[in-house]
Structure 1
Amino acid sequence: MFEKVLIANRGEIALRIHRACREMGIKTVAVHSTADADAMHVRLANESVCIGPPSATDSYLNIPAIISACEITGADAVHPGYGFLSENAKFADILKAHGITFIGPSGDHIRLMGDKIQAKVTAKSLGIPCVPGSDGAITTDEQAYKVAEETGYPVLVKAAAGGGGRGMKVARSRGELSSALSTARAEAKAAFGDDALYMEKYLGQPRHIEVQVIADSHGNVAHLGERDCSLQRRHQKVLEESPSPALNTAQRAEIGGIVSKAIKGLGYLGVGTIEFLYEDGQFFFIEMNTRLQVEHPITEAVTGIDIVREQIRIAAGMEMSFTQDDVEFSGHAIECRINAEDPKTFAPSPGTIKDFHTPGGLGVRVDSAVYSGYRIPPYYDSLIGKLVVHGRNRNECLMRLRRSLHEFVIDGIKTTIPLFQELVNEPDFINGEYHIHWLEDFLKKNA
């Protein structure tokens, strides 16, 4: 097992990783920008190293500074969390070259699944169902028109190196497709330095279902069920739940089995998430995330498995502490992403937190690294905490969630708590009848 893990991240996920390490008897190193000198994970870690000014480019994305921090402190492993360098194949390769373990998959697997075109080709070859569309990159408008005629309109143009909805455009006719292609290419080039595009059939009202998988170096593979991430705004997840209200036990077992077999065939190591669109009883592969997900706590709630602990064990060469037969799903869990944003306009709301009181009680978990007096910096993602609620069934979970949102107090800045207080009383949400466009429709209706 590792003696010292450097946490190459910030905020709630850095604290989450620190806690797992602490329970395992592993020392931690916190790296931080000058803006995060008073962050909670910096205060609690065994050691801390300042790696640069506030800009993420000069600090949390500064690979030489992070390598130097590893060498200064003697860290023998790095956990990247999510975001920042978590899916950077070059970073994983450099760590390996320096004899430092990257707590994640190989650089080759990150590179393969990070290219959306190659990921889709690979998924098909492994038996994972995919959305009809182009087999590779779209290089000309004529090629795009041909694919669109074969699949039928509307179509979705996507950036091969994309994520977060950037470089993604819908075309409902041939006339719209030309404009969509040029706009998507420009966005993709600006955001990712790569203007390669591909196309898929656009599904009308699908749900976003993802399956959590885990594999070790001893041939063991398991899936930990699915999460429903359909409540999204501008392709960004807002609320997740597990299990999905849309699936039954047989569907869950079927897609879980398909994914587990594919991961074993890929020779993948560590945790990962296979994401699907789900419509009319069919699953369609979107992408694979080769890292820990923001929403991993709801899977932990319904399985009782510490996913971060398993990540660390697997990276150290150990076997998973369970098999697929050991996985039991219990109850229902929902996660709300609490952001420092205006709940109506979603404009960022940095500033000083005057009062901070989290809800508690049976089945309530809050993952957050903020505290009273903490100043939310304007330089990073607006996520300040995750409210995770677990109940014996979905109805109990909803009642517990309403109560917890009522108890949650964050004063001094605006947050998205009022939005969730509205959502949990909406009939469609209560009945589990929503899709990936539902939230944006709701927001327009209530603007």
Structure 2
Amino acid sequence: MISSLGRHLLSRRQILQGAAGLSAAAMMGPRAFAAPSTPISFVGWQYQPQIVEENVKTFMKLYDESVNYELVSGDYHPLAETKLTGGQHIDMLYSEENYIARWHAANWIRDIESLPGVADIKAGMFPVSVESLSLPNGGPLCGLPYYAGYNTFLYNDEHLAKAGVQTPETWDAVLEVCRKLKRDGVSEAPFHAMWQQQWPNMSWYMFAAWYSEGAKVFDADGNFVDEPALRKILEINQTFYKEKLVVEDIMTLPGEGVPSYASGRHTFMVVHDYNHKVANDPAVSKIAGKVRNAIMPGATRSTMAWTAAYLMGSQPVDEERVWNLLQFFGGKAKDGQYHVIKRWALEFGLGSGYKEVMQDPEIVASFSKWRDLDISAKQLGMATSRAIGKAIWFPEWDMFMMQQVQEYIRSGSSTDQLVASLAAKASELKAQYQ
């Protein structure tokens, strides 16, 4: 399986290489007096890199260490794969959960199950996070949590009050309320969601909506499942676009569409839960204080939950040193503090895979200012983990799906044709990776 994956990725290397020049490497400040001469190599995506740099400096001072932090600008996972296929040495890197098994199969990362303290670390995590960060079928732990999240259903309560309607509990009701909001002049584009093609947007939105309606999407054997719930979600979204209940440029909006939602133009949004904080921040949002979270509409009212990861490269420059870095960013430092995780929670509203962190009184008080914690807890209890993300071929199917769903929505084309193409692509990729 490793050689098959490697061959397939290498065949794509020339396509991706052109984008590799977007990366930028930088040494993070002077090393401490006794710091090792060979730095730890750390690669990360483009989210608050200036704070990541500060965190790296804190780690180097605390551990008397040397770290080379490289920022990858652009579509992170394809660019990271370009580096890995090209043989670049990486000691620690970010990853979404659906790349963990794929990169492990390619021998680019290693599992961390046998490292000191892992049993206690796993015991302190939510089970869904342990599952997300492990290899399939109860396999070993491969990473520590960067953050844990889910897609949430937000609404502008002022809009609903003006229209005299309640929060919808089904997708049919969402459609009808949107029609009324538009007809009454409350909102020209009441529905909003992450319809952009980048990896955390259209993909996560579609799976959250599919799960909320009870669609399996894939069965336990990794076979694509064509069923009424899956088709219903596709057709609802096509209708949103056809009836102009979304903005025309929704598929190309920057920032996951969050700045557009914060403008007050829209009523509903399905988005990463941490963006609720942005929507209620008076410094950046025109609707601060008006945005509420509700349980996802749909037959099951589930959503998609995930845990992003810090992973260790398969050939660490020094296992103990890299394990220290992994724990500093993805858990407790040697001084007993969650330096990185707590900062992400308090400043940006990122949830954690650790029970202790989410029960911290300071974090509870902070989160309760911008979202209903009881609804959030209930939604997480109903959330679905995307098990198919552990298939090594899934990321390529996922990109294909986003492209095809966007075209389907824009063109108003046949649902039968789309579903057939999604099923055929899944079968094709499964065969290629066998």
Q: State the TM bucket, normalised to the shorter chain.
A: under 0.3
TM-score by length of 1: 0.27
TM-score by length of 2: 0.28
- The structure whose residues are more often strand, as a share, is 1
Choose between structure 1 and 2 for higher RCO, CA contacts under 8 A separated by at least 6 residues: 2
- The structure whose residues are more often helix, as a share, is 2
